Structure 1
Amino acid sequence: MMKHKGDWLLLLAAFIGGGGFISLKYLLDWGYDPFQVIFGRFLTASVCMCLVYCKRLKRITKEEWRVGSILGALLAAMFLLMTVGLQYTTPSVNAFLVNIPAVIVPFVCWGVFRQKPNRNCFLAAGMTLFGVCCLSLTADFRLDFGAGLSLLAAVAFSLQMAFLGNLTKDCDSVHIAIVENLSTLAVMTVILMFTGWDMPPLTLPAFGNFFYAGAFCTALYFVLQSIGQQSTAPNKAAIIITTESIFAAVFSAILYGERMHFRGYLGCAVIFAAMALAEKPVQERK
């Protein structure tokens, strides 16, 4: 059991994160707009992280504040696109499309940092395109609006992950996570100053979903992921984390009553296979 501790922690993070899509969908259905949902989520997450790591706040360096703020801006863009997209599509479609950075990141690194992807990534990209078409094209072959926004969220998330891997080599991972959360919260605060603070009454179910999305799906999620990846190979960790979309589909069927057609299930299966293929190392010829 201890030998696979990192794997179990990553799987637990994916399980918790999968349930977060349902919480966000319920909050949107209850009348909260995407800006309010993201603000409440990151307010909760920032308070939790600052309480747990309060002694480390003073040790955050200027470089960590600079890098974390850049990553926080990309994270804010990702959550905005993801949450608005969730208004117009189902939780499982949203989760699968947002979780395809394993395929996109290598191409971002190729374009920005001149790190050429391996051969598997090109095949995985083609498979992902087919899976996305199965998931997001309507009966008359138009791209569903919510799915389109979810795809843009995946691009923003891929940029965040690419910069995270190349700009934080000399930074503390916990410090970066704290600054990212605070930066995203600051962005959403500014947006709400212009869009207005009027929101539906904070009922007990709404509070529970805000708390789950912030404390568990954001704060605890990043802590579990950070600890888990310390003892798990990167390729394996990426595959385990992508199971978040599987859990989201299961939770959506059980808790939200979502029913997906065969083409949707085929798209989910192809996308998941593409994500696993993108993380598989290419064996060199002898």
Structure 2
Amino acid sequence: MLPERRGDLFILTATLLASAGWLFSKEAIAGLPPAGFVGWRFVLAALLLLPFCYRQLRQTSPEHLLKAAAIGLMMTLNLIFWIQAISHSEGIGEGAFIMSLSMLMVPPLAWLIFRERPSRQFWLALPIAIAGLFLLTMGSGLSLSLSQLLFLLASLSLALYFNFNSRFARRIDPMALTCIQLAVTGVMHLIYSGLFEQWPDVIEAEIWGWFTASVLLATSLRFVCQSTGQKYSNVANAALIMMLEPVWTVLISVFWYHEPMPIQKVFGCALILLALLSYRSRSLLAWYRSRRALHPGRRQP
């Protein structure tokens, strides 16, 4: 198998694991306090990554370690909104598509904070995404439900995290950066849980099973698959495959939670996906042209 194809398969596996992580998380917090669940999930995931990046961490300057930890606080904010949104929602499919809007929130935040003007593709994709969001939420009238509002806040905080993290990621080893941010996020959630949450006296074995799946599959294995896939897969191709995460999540939610998907929600999801594809159109077209240049006599699948 060609390395690029193998990379695509790793990326596809990562999206499936990420989608399953929504299910694992919602089932786990049925018996665990939300912040405590996130805290232990991320602390254990960081400890699993630590042996693979210990040397890189020792070689990182204290200044860069502090900056990585500060960006980890933005991840903490994102996870607070996300896990609370999941705990207040009946399904997970709608939330996954709302969260996918974070990609379209990155350019306006970059414009506001770093004075980087959005591209033309962004302005073309924005009204499509707004129409899709309206169709997703019109069941609540003109107002957002609590879970929808929390998912929007989670999407906004994820875009903020991405803006800062993408500018800092080149200065430190990616696995070391991930380990630091997972650890910071986990510790902050455990502090919050210790101060404000009440842990149950008895936790069923089934809940621990969902928790274990979250740590090993949806966090650690997903990160390994995503990192390996990005090493071999083309950037534009990887981005296109990763857009499938909310699609898998909707299918899981419909199957597992019997989440209702009336026709307007289906159209809303489709419009959001179309907006994301429209926004990525320039990089996808550049990738296609580069492939044609490398293989001028070969038909593209």
Q: TM-score if structure 2 supplies the norm length?
A: 0.87
The runs of 5 or more residues in structure 1 that have no matched partner are none
Partner of 1:39: 39
Instruction: Give the letter aligned to residue 225 of structure 2.
Output: L
Query: Offset of 1:183 from its aligned partner?
Result: 0.5
Partner of 1:14: 15
Partner of 1:166: 167
CA offset digits 1:140-177 (Å, max 9, x no partner)? 32212101110110111111111111122221101100
In 2, Cα distance between equivalents of 1:281 and 1:82: 30
In 2, Cα distance between equivalents of 1:59 and 1:215: 27
Counting only pairs closer than 5 Å after superposition, residues 24-173 of structure 1 correspond to structure 2 as 24-28=25-29, 30-89=30-89, 90-173=91-174
In 2, Cα distance between equivalents of 1:64 and 1:237: 28
Partner of 1:280: 281
CA offset digits 1:256-276 (Å, max 9, x no partner)? 222211111111111111111
**Is the contact between residue 33 and residue 199 of structure 2 (CA under 8 Å) also seen in structure 1?**
no
**Is the contact between residue 33 and residue 197 of structure 2 (CA under 8 Å) also seen in structure 1?**
no
Change (3 A) 1:200 1:238: farther
The runs of 5 or more residues in structure 2 that have no matched partner are 287-301
Change (3 A) 1:27 1:195: same
In 2, Cα distance between equivalents of 1:209 and 1:130: 35
CA offset digits 1:39-60 (Å, max 9, x no partner)? 2321331232224545544334
Larger Rg computed on CA atoms: 2
Q: Single out whichever of 133-142 and 177-186 deviates more from structure 2.
A: 133-142
Change (3 A) 1:211 1:57: farther
CA offset digits 1:110-137 (Å, max 9, x no partner)? 2222222211111211111111111123
Instruction: Percent identity, please.
Output: 21
Instruction: Give the letter aligned to residue 40 of structure 2.
Output: G
In 1, Cα distance between equivalents of 2:201 and 2:156: 31
**Is the contact between residue 96 and residue 271 of structure 1 (CA under 8 Å) also seen in structure 2?**
yes
Query: Offset of 1:20 from its aligned partner?
Result: 0.9
In 2, Cα distance between equivalents of 1:259 and 1:204: 30
Change (3 A) 1:44 1:256: farther
Change (3 A) 1:25 1:200: farther
**Is the contact between residue 45 and residue 218 of structure 1 (CA under 8 Å) also seen in structure 2?**
yes
In 1, Cα distance between equivalents of 2:25 and 2:34: 9
- For residue 258 of structure 1, give the secondary structure of its aligned residue in structure 2: coil
Q: Single out whichever of 188-197 and 84-93 deviates more from structure 2.
A: 188-197
Change (3 A) 1:236 1:200: farther
Change (3 A) 1:141 1:20: same
